[in-house]
Amino acid sequence: MLAVKNLEVVYDDVILVLRGISIEVPEGKIVALLGANGAGKTTLLRALSGLLGVHEGDITKGEITLDGKPIHRRSPAQIVGLGIKQVLEGRRVFAEFNVEENLRVGAHTNARAAKHNMERVFALFPVLKDRRKATAGYLSGGEQQMLAMARALMSEPRYLLLDEPSLGLAPLLVQQIRDLIVEINRAGTTVLLVEQNANMALSIAERGYVMETGKIVMDKPAAELLDDEDVKEFYLGLGAEGEKSFRDVKHYKRRKRWLS
């Protein structure tokens, strides 16, 4: 189990971004992490994968444990070696490389099994097999997202951290990506899914966390979250006030505070 306890992260020594976050990602499950822009979702993923240093971020309190052992002082390369891999937001494929080279880079920590794993991800993403010699930068957005996920899978991670895989994709592609995530999970990889698309994330997740300004404000099974009035209103756009008259809506009422 991957667990975060009371994690506090500060950027540039001054900006407090995570204020005591605790989440648990049990093995074999899909866990969704929702939240508005700037809530700290990506920062949490960076803390998990050790990439805070690139952004001048620092863990000031709390700990991250993998099966009970603290990992938050490890380097990104060590964390990948332990089987935790992040797919960065915005796909970030190596645009100048071809598809196969991208996958080989993904197999960096596990080069021996690269051949076997390449067959495995090609079976999962047949589109990539057809375009294995194509320059990655010229793939479509959906293909690039698949490539980014495939690249991460090349090192056989136990935990896959996905940062907004549906970003900028057409609804049909979002569905396809969603099905792929389910398939990856079924093959034995635990998934922590950060999403703006709450509907998609909660439909496949077992459990969901909602973050706001650096705190976890909700922590429920995904099905309950889908039914929650606040989540409906703020993430699914199914709020009750569409039916209200605008005369009744005072703007300060709209400023929702969680846990108040």
Q: Which residues bind another protein (CB under 8 A)?
A: 49-51, 54, 56, 75-77, 80-81, 85-88, 92, 94-97, 101, 104-106, 108-109, 111, 135, 137-140, 151-152, 155
Q: Name which of 81 and 171 has its Cβ closer to another protein.
A: 81
CB of 69 within 8 A of CB of 115? no
CB of 256 to another protein, least distance (A): 33
Q: Name which of 133 and 250 has its Cβ closer to another protein.
A: 133
CB of 255 to another protein, least distance (A): 35
Dihedral sign for Cα 107, 88, 228, 22, please: positive
Pairing label, strands 159-163, 190-195 = parallel
Dihedral sign for Cα 208, 192, 67, 13, please: negative
Q: Name which of 35 and 106 has its Cβ closer to another protein.
A: 106
Q: Name which of 6 and 75 has its Cβ closer to another protein.
A: 75
DSSP string computed for 66-129: ETTEE-TTS-HHHHHHHTEEEE-TT----TTSBHHHHHHHHTGGGGGGHHHHHHHHHHH-HHHH
CB of 226 to another protein, least distance (A): 31
Q: Name which of 60 and 78 has its Cβ closer to another protein.
A: 78
CB of 258 to another protein, least distance (A): 31
Closest to 83 in 3D by CA, of 152, 29, 158: 158
Q: Name which of 70 and 137 has its Cβ closer to another protein.
A: 137
CB of 147 to another protein, least distance (A): 12
CB of 54 to another protein, least distance (A): 5
